[in-house]
Every structure is written in structure tokens, then in C-alpha cells.
């Protein structure tokens, strides 16, 4: 098998998601909801069976399962940076390939390319969207969800350096989409999760791998100070909020 060449950031993100792989599916409630919302928006633009579909960043299969359960798809290829994700979606897709989407060899003349909660990890989204457009058939659909600049706003306010490199608000997507694509759907709406304390919140981040850029080393004193500051700035009725800021985009190739 050909080895996958990754840059340092990709290796760090892969390690974070690989570490949380066993716990991801049951703990990634926001990501599951985001995937369902993407498919709901996509359904309004699909009237016939989709012949050839490609999903990148499939993870443990939240979007994969929603697509296969609600849309008629003849053939589907899935991808993820973490090779072990292939085991999670084996029964749902027709083929799986591991590797970074930026350099992955993918089929052409695709009728649907989709991804949920992944594009925020891609630094050059303009280049990625052009590449994806080049692999779509005329009339093919591109359906993506990422996160806006309000993603984990509480952590950002407290000085976290674990942000993904590609947070992008809905109004900024138009400038990144190539002329070959017409935007059909664009939406942004926050999802707030609530936790009983700093430790459950941090465990949630670890179990879902979403803090893939984090290099934080936690001591008891640091955790205590982090919780104190979190409570002072954002605590409500003994709970701590964590804001997800999903953005959904669907476009069609002319």
C-alpha cells in the first residue's frame, strides 16, 4: 500500500481524530445534527437518483448514513484522513480511500460531492473548491458544511490556540466559490451545547477530536483557572456553553 504523505498540521489533526475515533460517533451530537441539516437542504435540489457520489472527511459516517438513508445513490466513494474510518463506513459505501483531500486522487464526472464538518481544516478553500468543481459533471452538486468565525467563541475568548485554519462565515463563501458553480443554498446558525463543568467540556472536545490543533497540557491548577474564567465570562445557571457555528453551502456546476 502506498504511504500517505502528510504535513505536520495534517498529522496532528489525524492523530487527534484517530484518538477520539471510538468515542466520536456517540459524542458528536452537533456534527450529527449538522449532517442531517445538510441532507435536508440537499434533498430539495435532487429529483432523480444520484449516479456517482464522493464524500470526503466521512469520519464515522454521520453524513454517509444520512445520505444513503434519504437519497437514492447508485455508487458512493468515501474518504477520510484517518484510514480506520474505512471500517466505520464499510457497510454503507461502495469504496473507501484514505488521505488528504487536497492531494487525493478522486474520480471525475461526479454527480455529487459532499462533506460535513471538514472544510474548516483546509487552509486554502478557494483552491479546494476549484478542484472539486473540476471533478463534477455538468449539473453536478457540491454540498458542504464548515464552521464560521463564531466556532467555539468561548474558547477563543479564553485564549485557545486550537482553532481550525479555515473558519468562514456564510457571507464570505461567495468569494471562494469558482465561477463554474452557482450557489443554491447558503445558511449559518449556531448550535450551543451545555456542560456541567470544564472537565466534561474538555472531555467532549477530546472524545470528538475537534480540537485537532490543540497542544495544551493540562495541570490541576490550569484546569481550575480555566474553569474559573469560563464561569465568570460565560457561565449560566451552573452550566458552561460551547458554541458550534455551522455554515451550510450547496452549489451546482453549470
CA distance 48 to 45: 10
Which whole-number Å values give the CA distances from 163 to 6, 121, 197, 214, 232, in the listed order? 19, 9, 21, 8, 22
Q: State the pLDDT at residue 13.
A: 84
Structure confidence by residue, pLDDT tens digits, 113-129: 999 999 999 999 999 99
Q: Which of 105-114, 118-127, 139-148, 198-207 has the lowest mean pLDDT?
A: 198-207
Partners of residue 115 on adjacent β-strands: 144
pLDDT at residue 240 greater than cutoff 50: yes
Convert the pLDDT of each residue in 44-60 to its tens digit.
Answer: 999 999 999 999 999 99
Q: Which helix (H) or strand (E) holds 178?
A: none
Residue 238's contacts (CB-CB under 8 Å, 6 or more residues apart) are: 196
| Residue 87 CB coordination number (10 Å) | 11
**H-type alpha helices, the chain:** 8-19, 21-27, 29-43, 62-70, 85-89, 125-134, 153-157, 170-173, 198-208, 220-234
Q: In this model, does residue 15 exceed pLDDT 90?
A: no
**Predicted confidence band at 215 (pLDDT cuts at 50, 70, 90)?**
low
Task: Give the tens place of pLDDT for each residue, 154-170.
Answer: 999 998 877 889 999 99
**For residue 73, which of 48, 108, 44 has the smallest C-alpha distance?**
48
Percent of the chain with pLDDT strictly greater than 90: 80
Residue keyed to cell 472531555 = 203
The model's pTM: 0.93
Q: How confident is the model over 73-131, as pLDDT tens digits?
A: 999 999 999 999 999 999 999 999 999 999 999 999 999 999 999 999 999 999 999 99
Does residue 214 register a pLDDT over 70?
A: no
The more confidently predicted of residues 12 and 176 is 176
Q: Supply the pLDDT for residue 241.
A: 98
d(CA 167, CA 25): 23
Amino acid at each position: 500500500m502506498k504511504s500517505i504523505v502528510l504535513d505536520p498540521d495534517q498529522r496532528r489533526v489525524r492523530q487527534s481524530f484517530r484518538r477520539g475515533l471510538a468515542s466520536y460517533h456517540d459524542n458528536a451530537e452537533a456534527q450529527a445534527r449538522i449532517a442531517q441539516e445538510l441532507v435536508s437542504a440537499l434533498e430539495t435540489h435532487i429529483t432523480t437518483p444520484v449516479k456517482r457520489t464522493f464524500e470526503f472527511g466521512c469520519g464515522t459516517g454521520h453524513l454517509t448514513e444520512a445520505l444513503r438513508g434519504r437519497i437514492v445513490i447508485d455508487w458512493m466513494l468515501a474518504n477520510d484522513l484517518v484510514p480506520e474510518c474505512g471500517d466505520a463506513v464499510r457497510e454503507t459505501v461502495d469504496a473507501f480511500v484514505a488521505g488528504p483531500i487536497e492531494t487525493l486522487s478522486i474520480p471525475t464526472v461526479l454527480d455529487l460531492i459532499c462533506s460535513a464538518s471538514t472544510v474548516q481544516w483546509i487552509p486554502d478553500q478557494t483552491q479546494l473548491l476549484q478542484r472539486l468543481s473540476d471533478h463534477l459533471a455538468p449539473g453536478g452538486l457540491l454540498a458542504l458544511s464548515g464552521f464560521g468565525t463564531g466556532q467555539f467563541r468561548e474558547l477563543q475568548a479564553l485564549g485557545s490556540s486550537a482553532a481550525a485554519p479555515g473558519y468562514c462565515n456564510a457571507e464570505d463563501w461567495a468569494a471562494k466559490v469558482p465561477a463554474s458553480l452557482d450557489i443554491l443554498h447558503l445558511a449559518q446558525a449556531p448550535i450551543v451545547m451545555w456542560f456541567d463543568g470544564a472537565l466534561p467540556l474538555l472531555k467532549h472536545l477530546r472524545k470528538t477530536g475537534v480540537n485537532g490543533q490543540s497542544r495544551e497540557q493540562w495541570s490541576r491548577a490550569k484546569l481550575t483557572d480555566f474553569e474559573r474564567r469560563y464561569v465568570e465570562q460565560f457561565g449560566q445557571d451552573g452550566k458552561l456553553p460551547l458554541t458550534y457555528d455551522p455554515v451550510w453551502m450547496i452549489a451546482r456546476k453549470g
